[in-house]
Chain A
Amino acid sequence: QQPVQSPQAVILREGEDAVINCSSSKALYSVHWYRQKHGEAPVFLMILLKGGEQKGHDKISASFNEKKQQSSLYLTASQLSYSGTYFCGTEIGNNFNKFYFGSGTKLNVKP
């Protein structure tokens, strides 16, 4: 039930781009993206809903392919502050108690 994220880890230089993928074997109603820095609470980035509606961050973009049951998070011109672990959370059907987080993608941006 848990969505699968890839890659598991990414190392970037400042200014480089990255894509983080999230896929599910079940039909998705929505995808949430969060970032967690070490020892801290996750922070909201984006929500994408079935049908194309989005809500979220100005500088980070994401896509949601309902047919492929996949979402991708695009981090462009990465900054040092982008470092952390990125989690996708997926809602299977319109029923919140079927909400699962992926195992995370650890992003390390170096100067």
Chain B
Amino acid sequence: DGGITQSPKYLFRKEGQNVTLSCEQNLNHDAMYWYRQDPGQGLRLIYYSQIVNDFQKGDIAEGYSVSREKKESFPLTVTSAQKNPTAFYLCASSISGSRSYNEQFFGPGTRLTVL
């Protein structure tokens, strides 16, 4: 079955630590995205990638980093510079990032809590 997987489902981090959230897709999609969702809020774009080896900052990229070395994978690192990282993180993909006519498919999410 094609889809997007995210791991882990729950992640606990101590202050000052970097953590990496995994996102893998087998849909053969070119574009991938990372969103952050806070309780009762909408989704805010952190980073997106339209093609392998290329990615762009979204609205709230500070304190986060990404890589896109393979088409299937788009890991997100939450660094210690992110002041308030506790949130629900969603990864998504779409066939192409260059056209807005393509719906996004979302993974199940990772819930990150800073202790």
Using a CB–CB cutoff of 8 Å, the interface residues on chain A facing chain B are 1-2, 29-30, 32, 34, 40-44, 47, 49, 53, 55, 87, 89, 91, 94, 96-97, 99-104
Contact = CB atoms under 8 A, between A and B. Distances in A.
Contact of B105 (A32, A44, A55, A91): A44
B100 A104 contact: no
Q: Which 7 A-B pairs have the closest CB atoms?
A: A41-B106, A44-B103, A101-B42, A101-B43, A30-B100, A103-B42, A91-B100
Interface string B81-111: 0000000001000000110110111111100
Given A42-B90, A97-B56, A47 B101 contact: yes
B41 interface: yes
**Interface size of B as a range:** 20 to 34
B59 interface: yes
A54 B72 CA distance: 28
B108 A41 contact: yes
Which secondary structure dominates where chain B touches chain A?
loop
B44 interface: yes
Contacts of A100: 42, 44-45, 59
B58 A97 contact: yes
Contacts of B2: none
Which secondary structure dominates where chain A touches chain B?
strand
A47 B42 contact: no
B48 A29 contact: no
B100 A96 contact: yes
Contact of B103 (A29, A55, A91): A55
Contacts of B98: 96
A42 B108 contact: no
Contacts of B103: 32, 44, 47, 55
Contacts of A47: 100-101, 103
Given A41-B106, A44-B104, A97-B58, A2 B97 contact: no
